[in-house]
């Protein structure tokens, strides 16, 4: 890669610790991997000899597959551990599980966990690079990065855009990571949700808050829809699925309030007819949902590549120090 | 017989802070500002502060049930080191202190193992389960100083009302945990920007106000003596003041942690800062310091809650709440003096006099005839706290590596010196 790159992280635990320049570094490198992924020789060797463990305490198909593919394309040895029904159920603590894995000398640890902050805790206890693949309601950094890359490719820039994020913001780590990232890159962010699905104190994040979807979409460049978990639709947070779709589902009529060339995004998996109308999800002129999946692999390759470089550098430094002392 | 001289006498009862002498004999204070009798041993206090020993209202001791976290012996050692002359034990043991037999067991063991006074509160309902009334009468006879289910809210209003009526007949004190159980279920942070950013399940401070409002209604209905264990939000203060102004026999406490820390101290999911109720905003904290200064909040306590490393080394939501506090209560309370401008007699009113009065104890005073439970301390001595040097079996303090001011030099219980600081590590 050309030029001087700025990326000084040892882990990717969230968007919050990243500097704008570091975000740009990841996206620039990801662009190169997009090209690689589209070629017929989809293989690089930057992670050769390294071991990547995907540890998913919450079940996931898409994110896990994306990380697995990313690792394999970079030449890493990838192992998947589905922890949803494993030793944690036998009473082993998260930290013991981490120490056990650590003893196997992984280089990259990809973790998803249901508790906010669990990945931070784990990162303190292992000596390899940790990537957060989603922790509770806290962060999901690679999702925000892949969304950013998609936006940048479609809009030609990642600043001074009006981005509307709509749906279950209170329970969404995707929303948190996205609003932090888009805020760092100086965009105007609008959050659209019924008050029951809006986190408290969110006005202080420097965003605009709407409960009327049409008003919130007015003049938007990007419309990000969030998934609404089915268990939240049965009267606990919103009265019913159909009322939710009526007020907050994205259809052509509501989308008409956004800019003419606004793009529609969704982190998947979609509930068609609940938060998004099928016609829009499949409209190739508006929906970039398939592209988001493609960018996901590239962004994860870039993030793991950068972390692996820092890891190698740190280990080299440690080796030299040891040699000098010995 | 001991004659303390050259001492800064901190007297919360008279509100004075002046150099003087104090004579103690047979476990009692017998004379103030008198000469040294010939047969007395003179103790030069070098101008340091001599105050009534702290009465810490609401200490969890792991005995019985969780001796690996704290035993009566280690809690006693920690108390002696922290200038706490009376531990008022919470009934959240296992089994709970809900029968006179358990209470007697605890009292007997405490006498043999701890250098400080231990008084126990008893459970309000059997097993603290909130279903049937505990034997309030027998427990009173056995020495229970108050009745509480700890941080478990009795959500059955009818039952709580009956407990209060019954307790009122005997003049017993009931300690409530004001909190709307429905709103606070599952929460581990105060709702607001910080909790939203960290993705933590949060509860509105309003839940405390609602819990307090409910309890005040029942107190008005029954006329019982009531103490709120922890009032931690500014929102609750008007309700508390209204109750007091209406002549209800109500008092309120707060943990030292809620007076010296705020929600941002949790930082990157540091579980030693997880409390029940959760830490609040800085605005709340400042309002509460003010409320202590104005006497709206009566009692400062440590809410000593020992937790072993295994209970804390977990993701924030899953980790146990609470912190040890017996040894850090005094230096942390000195922050109120040094940083918030509260006078020492005022701080001691909340640490010692008010809790003693509320519980019907004679401690907390420097008057002639009061028990010789005393703490000698240097309010200015600076140090950096090392949690591994704490006497408690559990080391879960939020003040680890914190810069603190205020050291206990000696603690006297019933006239006996139970802790004296070595010169070497002073």
A115: nearest CB among B191, B204, B317: B317
Kindly report, residue by residue over B275-301, the tens digit of the pLDDT: 999 999 999 999 999 999 999 999 999
pLDDT of res. A96: 87
Lowest-confidence pick of A201-205, A317-321, B201-205: A201-205
Kindly report, residue by residue over B33-58, the tens digit of the pLDDT: 999 999 999 999 999 999 999 999 99
Kindly report, residue by residue over A248-287, the tens digit of the pLDDT: 999 999 999 999 999 999 998 898 988 999 999 999 999 9
Q: Which residue has the tokens 């280089």?
A: A107
* Chain A residues touching residue B204 (CB < 8 angstroms): 200
Domain residue limits, chain B? 52-358
Separation between Cα atoms, residue B79 and residue B60, nearest integer Å: 12
DSSP bridge partners of B417:
B412
Q: In what order do the strands lie in the sheet with A222-225?
A: A208-210, A188-192, A162-166, A222-225, A263-265
The pLDDT of A152-158, averaged and rounded, is 97
Q: Check whether B362 has a pLDDT greater than 50.
A: yes
Instruction: State yes or no: is A62 an active-site residue.
Output: yes
pLDDT of res. A90: 62
Kindly report, residue by residue over A43-101, the tens digit of the pLDDT: 999 999 999 999 999 888 999 999 999 999 999 999 998 877 665 556 678 888 888 88
| Angle between helix A94-102 and A118-125 (nearest 10) | 40
Q: Which of A19, A42, A43, A62 is catalytic?
A: A62
- CB burial of B328-347 (b: ≥16 within 10 Å; e: otherwise) equals bbbbbbbbbbeebebbbbbb
Q: Check whether B17 has a pLDDT greater than 50.
A: yes
Kindly report, residue by residue over A171-189, the tens digit of the pLDDT: 999 999 999 999 999 999 9
User: What is the signed CA dihedral for B403, B386, B334, B51, rounded to 10 degrees?
Assistant: -150
pLDDT of res. B424: 43
Percentage of chain A beyond pLDDT 90 is 80
With CA atoms as reference, the chain B residue closest to A13 would be: B268
Which of B270, B315, B318 to substitute to test the interface with A, most A CBs within 10 Å?
B315
Q: Which of A11, A24, A25, A63 is catalytic?
A: A63
pLDDT of res. A87: 55
The pLDDT of B1-22, averaged and rounded, is 96
* Chain B residues touching residue A116 (CB < 8 angstroms): 198-200, 269, 315-317
| B420 SS3 class | strand
User: Closest Cα partner for B13 from B336, B408, B368?
Assistant: B368
pLDDT mean across residues, chain B: 96
Cβ separation A201–B195 shorter than 8 A? yes
Q: Check whether B425 has a pLDDT greater than 60.
A: no
CB under 8 Å to B4, separation ≥6 — which residues? Answer: B21, B22, B23, B24, B43, B45, B50, B374, B376
Confidence tier at B426 by pLDDT (50, 70, 90): very low
Instruction: State yes or no: is A112 an active-site residue.
Output: yes
Length of chain B counted residue by residue = 426
* Chain B residues touching residue A200 (CB < 8 angstroms): 191-193, 195-196, 202, 204
A201: nearest CB among B196, B268, B269: B196
User: Closest Cα partner for B120 from B105, B107, B109?
Assistant: B107
- Determine the straight-line distance between the first and last CA of chain A, rounded to whole angstroms: 35
Percentage of chain B beyond pLDDT 90 is 98
pLDDT of res. A234: 66
Confidence tier at A326 by pLDDT (50, 70, 90): confident
Cβ separation B313–A135 shorter than 8 A? no
Separation between Cα atoms, residue A274 and residue A40, nearest integer Å: 38
Instruction: State yes or no: is A140 an active-site residue.
Output: yes
Residues B62, B93: contact at Cβ < 8 Å? yes
CATH topology of domain B52-358: TIM Barrel (3.20.20)
């Amino acid at each position: 890669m050309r030029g001087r790159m700025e990326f000084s992280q040892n882990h990717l635990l969230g968007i919050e610790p990243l500097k704008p320049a570091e975000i740009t570094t990841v996206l620039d490198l990801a662009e190169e991997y997009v090209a690689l992924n589209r070629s017929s020789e989809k293989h690089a060797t930057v992670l050769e000899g390294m071991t990547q463990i995907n540890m998913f305490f919450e079940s996931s198909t898409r994110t896990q597959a994306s990380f697995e593919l990313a690792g394999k394309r970079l030449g890493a040895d990838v192992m998947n551990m589905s922890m949803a029904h494993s030793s944690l159920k036998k009473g082993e603590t998260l930290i013991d599980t981490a120490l056990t894995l650590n003893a196997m000398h992984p280089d990259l640890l990809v973790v998803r966990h249901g508790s906010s902050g669990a990945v931070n805790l784990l990162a303190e206890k292992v000596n390899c690079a940790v990537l957060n693949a989603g922790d509770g309601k806290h962060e999901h950094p690679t999702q925000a990065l892949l969304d950013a890359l998609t936006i940048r490719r479609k809009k030609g820039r990642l600043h001074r855009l009006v981005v509307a994020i709509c749906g279950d913001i209170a329970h969404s780590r995707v929303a948190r990571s996205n609003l932090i990232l888009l805020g760092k890159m100086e965009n105007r962010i609008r959050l659209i949700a019924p008050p029951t699905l809006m986190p408290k104190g969110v006005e202080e994040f420097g965003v605009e808050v709407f409960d009327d979807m049409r008003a919130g979409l007015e003049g938007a460049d990007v419309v990000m829809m969030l998934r609404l978990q089915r268990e939240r639709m049965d009267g606990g947070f919103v009265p019913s699925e159909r009322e939710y779709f009526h007020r907050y589902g994205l259809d052509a009529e509501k989308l008409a309030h956004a800019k003419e060339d606004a793009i529609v995004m969704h982190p998947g998996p979609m509930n068609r007819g609940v938060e998004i109308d099928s016609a829009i999800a499949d409209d190739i002129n508006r929906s970039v949902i398939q592209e988001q999946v493609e960018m996901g692999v590239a962004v994860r390759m870039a993030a793991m590549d950068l972390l692996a470089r820092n890891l190698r550098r740190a280990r080299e430094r440690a080796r030299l120090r040891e040699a000098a002392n010995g | 017989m001991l004659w303390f001289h050259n001492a800064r006498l901190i007297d919360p009862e008279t509100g004075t802070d002046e150099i003087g002498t104090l004579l103690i004999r047979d476990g009692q204070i017998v004379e103030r500002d008198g000469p040294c009798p010939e047969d007395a041993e003179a103790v030069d206090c070098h101008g340091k502060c001599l105050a009534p020993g702290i009465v810490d209202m609401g200490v969890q001791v792991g005995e019985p049930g969780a001796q690996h976290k704290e035993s009566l012996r280690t809690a006693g050692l920690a108390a002696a080191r922290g200038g706490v002359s009376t531990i008022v034990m919470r009934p959240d043991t296992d089994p709970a202190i809900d029968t006179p037999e358990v209470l007697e067991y605890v009292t007997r063991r405490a006498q043999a193992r701890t250098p400080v006074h231990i008084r126990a509160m008893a459970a309000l309902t059997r097993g603290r389960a909130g279903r049937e009334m505990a034997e309030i009468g027998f427990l009173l006879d056995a020495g229970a100083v108050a009745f509480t289910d700890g941080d478990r809210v009795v959500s059955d209003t009818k039952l709580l009302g009956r407990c209060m009526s019954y307790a009122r007949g005997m003049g017993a004190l009931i300690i409530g945990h004001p909190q709307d159980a429905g709103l606070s279920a599952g929460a581990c942070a105060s709702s607001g920007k910080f909790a939203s950013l960290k993705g933590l399940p949060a509860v509105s401070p309003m839940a405390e106000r609602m819990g307090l409002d409910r309890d005040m209604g029942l107190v008005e209905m029954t006329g019982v003596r009531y103490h709120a264990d922890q009032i931690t939000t500014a929102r609750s203060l008007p309700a508390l003041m209204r109750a007091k102004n209406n002549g209800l026999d109500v008092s309120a406490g707060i943990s030292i942690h809620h007076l010296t820390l705020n929600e941002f101290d949790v930082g990157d999911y540091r579980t030693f800062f997880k409390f029940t109720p959760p830490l609040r905003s800085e605005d709340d904290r400042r309002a509460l310091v003010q409320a202590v200064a104005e006497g709206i909040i009566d009692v400062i306590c440590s809410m000593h809650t020992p937790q072993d490393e295994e209970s804390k080394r977990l993701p924030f939501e899953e980790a146990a709440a609470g912190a040890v506090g017996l040894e850090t209560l005094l230096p942390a309370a000195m922050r109120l003096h040094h940083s918030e401008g509260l006078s020492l007699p005022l701080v001691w009113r909340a640490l010692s006099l008010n809790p003693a009065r509320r519980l019907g104890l004679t401690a907390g005073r420097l008057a002639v005839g009061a028990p010789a439970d005393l703490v000698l301390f240097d309010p200015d001595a600076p140090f950096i706290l090392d949690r591994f040097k704490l006497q408690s079996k559990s080391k879960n303090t939020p003040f680890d590596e914190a810069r603190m001011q205020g050291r206990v030099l000696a603690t006297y219980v019933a006239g006996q010196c139970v802790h004296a600081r070595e010169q070497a590590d002073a």
